[in-house]
A and B are shown apart, each in its own frame.
Chain A
Amino acid sequence: MEFLTYFADVFTVPAMLLLVGGTVGGLILGATPGLSPTMAVALLIPFTFQLEAVHGLILLGAAYTSTVAGGAVSAILLKIPGAPANIATTLDGHEMARRGQGARALQLAFLASLVGGLIGVALLIFLTPVLAEWALAFGPSQLFWLAILGVTIIGSLGTSSVVKGLLSGSIGLWLATVGFDDILGVQRFVFHSSLSGGISIVPALIGLFAIPQVIAMFAEGRRRSSIEAISVEKHPLSRAVRELLSKLRAVAIGTVSGSIIGLIPGIGGQIAGLVAYDQARKVSPDREKFGTGHSEGIIAAESANNAMVGPSLVPLLTLSIPGSPTAAVLLGGLLIHGIFPGTDLFDNHPDVAWPFINSMLIGQILMCVFGLYVASLAARVALVPKSVMAPIVLGLAVFGSYSVQHSMGDVYVMAALGTMMYFLERFGFSAAPLVLGLILGPIAESSFIQGSLIAEATVGPFAYFFGGALNILLVAIVVTSVGYSLYAELRSRRAARDAS
């Protein structure tokens, strides 16, 4: 309970001002398409040069916490995931917003984020040494199987047909190979200079999710004067709280899978939301309602991506290995103040480490409070005609893609992928599996190459990739996951045949 004694350091005037500032700023940055949590934290690092170590870290901790949750705002209202972490939130969140219940979706998202986030940080506080061992258990072979497991989830994400889901996923895996191969440095599928850097995740995300609906809005706007792209009616907070409490299963699945995946170096938070969403759907009795604006989908996704925040810092704080891009930026923020994370961090610098972690606890609460306030504001601003909404979303999409690397090439990639997705969606394909393929492709590929190199020198490929309890467990889950998808597909086809 040592951490309790350091709460006093957080409840000082400058620390609280930084916490509030970091949280509000983080929510705004997180809600801005293209500004991922990693970039938001990187932008804040220079400010911490001027601060004391403990204050600098409080600012960074608050910003990290709230940018992840802030991404839900654009995911729900605009269907633009602020970062990969928020992809799953769009699936049901935006559908709910389109039904005029944006306030409800936002309230559920922030409440679920709060629960997941608090539990995630609590894990960081109490179980760090145990969790560090678990994080190290994932070598190249385990990461490879984990990526393959993600690929098997692809089939069931956001589309009714497993085949179409797998096809979208394959397109994503192929797109991931464009550009320089990260390990060997060989160029692949580079037909235009904009592609030489490969397809970055954030412009792809923005293009695949935002552009199809922009085109759709323009198309509909021409036909009739439709207003209310997303209307938000008032929704009492108490009802959202009651709803959350009635969906404890989704909260639990989201929090548990988010914490576990957040811990694994290299995979990080990018897929926590999607995995949790998929698991929650598989065990839910209302699984048909997922994707139509179902509250369990939002709750699982958002509790997962905030639960990931605490555990994602375990490898950094104990082993000095940043497990995610954001953790790498935080490492820079620690180093600049002469603080070396490692096993003895809590012995040598308890006065910095504990307030930092405590600030993330308080930050979760502030994030939820301000997030709910944003939800109530959104009720007023969101009554916008489609003819106005479409150019706004398009502007944000261009701005967000450009700002990642200050590159017009990314804007072209965003526009091209978005246009492609518009037509693919008309044929029943979905953006979520495509993005998942794009994220997992490089992880699967580099883990496989590294694993093969190690296997070649040691025990041979079969023993390396199939040896050990964790590998076997992961392979078993992969097989089950594929088997379940096939079973579900066959069952729904038979049902369709029987009905006709």
Chain B
Amino acid sequence: MKHILAGLVIAMAALVGTVQADEYPERPIMLMVSYGAGGATDFQARIVTMTAGNEDALGVPIAIINKPGAGGRVGWNWFATEADADGYTLAAYNIPHFIAQSIKGGVEYSKDSFEPIANWGADPAVFIVGTESPFNSMADVIAWAEANPGKLTFSGAGLFVGHHIAALQIEKAAGVTMQYVPTKGGGAAAMKAVIAGDVMAGINNLSDAYRAREAGNVKILAVADIQRNEEFLPDVPTMMEEGLDVDNSSVNFRGIMVPKGTPDAIIEKLAAIVPGMFMNSRVLGKMAAGGSPVHVMNREEVLAMWEERDAYLRELLKDL
């Protein structure tokens, strides 16, 4: 009897679950961005969710809320511990940031705290110098760094973010030590340090560096990705082409996730709809206008990418 009752309860729960998924979503959805309003992640999140209310998408609008602080740790801590796993609370993720932070410790999340839905963008890190800089290639930079160990200052947006990963990879690949100067306040402050000559070089987002180069403020020496960016920077070589064994591990992937414990039916429904929403022609137009590279991946591809990054970053960061 007990078993039958238990079975009934489970069946009821399953039934309620499917009913919920059928009706989901019936009210507006919140998307938490763990960076401030106006930053690249916030800006892109607002664009890719702007058509959520369309009938062929979710049919309800997505509202962005910002919980910035400590390179994203504040928002993701909140998301892992306090957010409701009901499908109405989504968050934007940044890879490698949150995985690198979880490996480094001191936070309440890991890749297993979240369930990815879909990826919308991939912003590779690039190596930049001011227009007046004597450096014209990565070879120039490495040669100077070899002659002056620890004296080459270069900026990036904080520790354990994509820029820092790229910095570590470059130092490891070339066998040199350089002085990485983390800034706070995202890529903008790191960019300012390069343009103003506070530091000798810098690592920054491809999209921001592309605009800075258009404005005549920086030279871009290499892109930390496995292939050139044909859309925005076809003339800039990859690190590999420059003779440095640096892959795409620092590429800043951005996408949407939900907390662990969200009903499977809701995850599946979101995973089925959201990639199409990212491919909406209006979304693509706005992303291209802002110089933001689009890279849509479905849930399975993102899961695989998270696994791969986690394993690689554990290896890279274990000596730190």
Contact = CB atoms under 8 A, between A and B. Distances in A.
A189 interface: no
A456 B179 contact: yes
Interface residues of A, number: 59
Interface string B152-168: 11000011100000000
Given A328-B37, A342-B211, A458-B151, A335 B291 contact: yes
Interface stretch (A101-109, A214-222, A313-321): A313-321
A136 B151 CA distance: 22
B283 to A, nearest CB: 10
Nearest to A344: B215
Contacts of A342: 211-212, 214-217
A319 B290 contact: no
B148 to A, nearest CB: 9
A83 to B, nearest CB: 14
A187 interface: yes
B101 interface: yes
A454 B38 contact: no
B153 A458 contact: yes
Interface string B57-77: 000000001110111011001
B242 to A, nearest CB: 23
A179 B184 CA distance: 15
A490 interface: no
Contacts of A136: 192, 195-197
Interface residues of B, number: 60
Contact of B106 (A186, A330, A405): A186
Nearest to A405: B67
A391 interface: no
A321 B191 contact: yes
Nearest to B215: A342
B37 A42 contact: yes
Which of A140, A197, A337, A343 has the most chain B CB atoms closer than 10 A to its own CB? A197
A340 B291 contact: yes
B217 A49 contact: no
Nearest to B216: A343
Nearest to B213: A342
Interface string A444-464: 001000100110111000000
Interface string B225-255: 0000000000000000000000000000000
A346 to B, nearest CB: 12
Given A265-B192, A407-B67, A340 B199 contact: no
A285 interface: no
A350 interface: no
Contacts of A405: 65-67
B215 A181 contact: no
Contact of A335 (B30, B73, B212, B290): B290
Nearest to A137: B196
B39 interface: yes
Interface stretch (B3-11, B19-27, B42-50, B120-128): B42-50
A14 interface: no
A198 B67 CA distance: 11
Given A184-B182, A328-B36, A454-B153, 4 more contacts: A182-B184, A186-B106, A319-B217, A325-B38
13 contacts: A46-B46, A139-B198, A140-B193, A180-B73, A182-B69, A197-B67, A319-B192, A342-B216, A344-B215, A406-B65, A406-B67, A454-B179, A454-B198
Interface of B: 30, 36-39, 42-43, 46-47, 50, 65-67, 69-71, 73-74, 77-78, 81-82, 101, 104, 106, 150-153, 158-160, 179-185, 188-189, 191-193, 195-199, 208, 211-212, 214-217, 286, 289-291
